[in-house]
Structure 1
């Protein structure tokens, strides 16, 4: 089953998604890529049923895209203040 330390997958998904964006993926598709990566990584890495894997993968992918955009917004706001 999914363990709390598996949350470390979120920054991994965000990082891989960022690599895709650096090689030319339009930013508007990054949440879709993050969800897809979340599902694939969860099905391969976490010992769950396929139904649970898809659900957990979607949650991790959405978390990763929110993690990235939240961090990006924080950095951009901080740059405007300075």
Structure 2
């Protein structure tokens, strides 16, 4: 079962995606990397006994991390339109 303290996995996924960015991975695929990492974490760590729940929770973690990453990036870089 997903516990509230499992939300700390989101910044972990953001950090790993940032490492991918630092080594030169194309920025367009970073959200997909975030989603895949989230699903892997969800299946392996959060809901190891229930594949469907692990995929669902993992997708939520990955998509949340992707949104957190892009939101933080927009705040830091600013929106100069």
Point out 4+ residue stretches in structure 1 off by more than 6 angstroms: none
TM, length-normalised to structure 2:
0.90
| Residue 4 (structure 2) aligns with | 4
Give 5+ residue unaligned stretches, structure 1: none
Where do 1:11-26 residues align within 5 Å?
A: 11-26=11-26
For residues 58 and 19 of structure 1, the distance between their equivalents in structure 2, rounded to whole angstroms, comes to: 20
Q: Unpaired segments of 5 or more residues in structure 2?
A: none
What residue in structure 1 maps to residue 57 of structure 2?
A: 56
Partner residue, 2:45: 45
**In structure 2, C-alpha distance between the alignment counterparts of 1:12 and 1:77, rounded to whole Å:** 24
Quote the offset at 1:75 in angstroms: 1.1
Number of residue pairs aligned between Structure 1 and Structure 2: 79
| TM-score with structure 1 setting the length | 0.89
Comparing both chains, which one has the higher relative contact order based on Cα–Cα distances under 8 Å and sequence gaps of 6 or more?
A: 1
Considering only aligned residues, what root-mean-square deviation do their CA atoms show, in Å? 1.5
Maintained 8 Å contact 2:47/2:53: no
